[in-house]
Amino acid sequence: MRAYRGNTLLREFRVALGRGGLAPKVQQGDGRVPEGEYAIDTRNRNSAFHLSLRISYPSPQQVRAAAVRGIDPGGDIMIHGLPNGLAPVGKSHRLADWTEGCIAVTNPEIEWLWRSVPDGTPILIMP
């Protein structure tokens, strides 16, 4: 994952993804990280994963498409730290994709993102 200010690269992160990998998200529970253009739309300082920044998935179009298929598109996709109480795992959390469709970083990394990335920041998730 990369963080930019304009065209300037500020920082790169190695991440763990959803157990379904980075692929077009189809529905709730598929474990996939949604691809596309989104924004950081809120944050949770009381997250079960240290801190979390919510991604604006699903878009209104994704909600409509899921309704046509009769499925739940899912939601609450976050960039977050490690599960509370598991900070000592540190960078080794990246050895496997383990989230339910989120993007996980270490606790110091989510703290940097928390301070550096305001709500409304556009994000692009792509392979």
Question: How far is Cα 43 from Cα 3, in angstroms, rounded to an integer?
Answer: 17
Q: Are 4 and 10 in contact (CB under 8 A)?
A: yes
Question: How far is Cα 56 from Cα 69, in angstroms, rounded to an integer?
Answer: 21
Which CATH number belongs to the domain containing residue 119 in this structure? 2.40.440.10
> To the nearest whole number, what is the mean pLDDT of the chain?
94
Domain count, the chain: 1
Domain around 86 = 14-125
CA-based nearest residue to 104, from 26, 51, 30: 51
Report pTM: 0.92
- Cα 10 versus chain centre, distance: 18
Mean pLDDT over 61-90 rounds to 94
Tens digits of residue pLDDT in 77-88 = 999 999 999 999
Asked if residue 5 belongs to a domain, the reply is no
Tens digits of residue pLDDT in 84-118 = 999 999 999 999 999 999 999 999 999 999 999 99
Asked if residue 31 belongs to a domain, the reply is yes
Q: Does the pLDDT value for residue 72 go beyond 90? A: yes
Q: What are phi and psi of 102, to 5 degrees?
A: -100, 180
Asked if residue 45 belongs to a domain, the reply is yes
Q: Does the pLDDT value for residue 22 go beyond 80? A: no
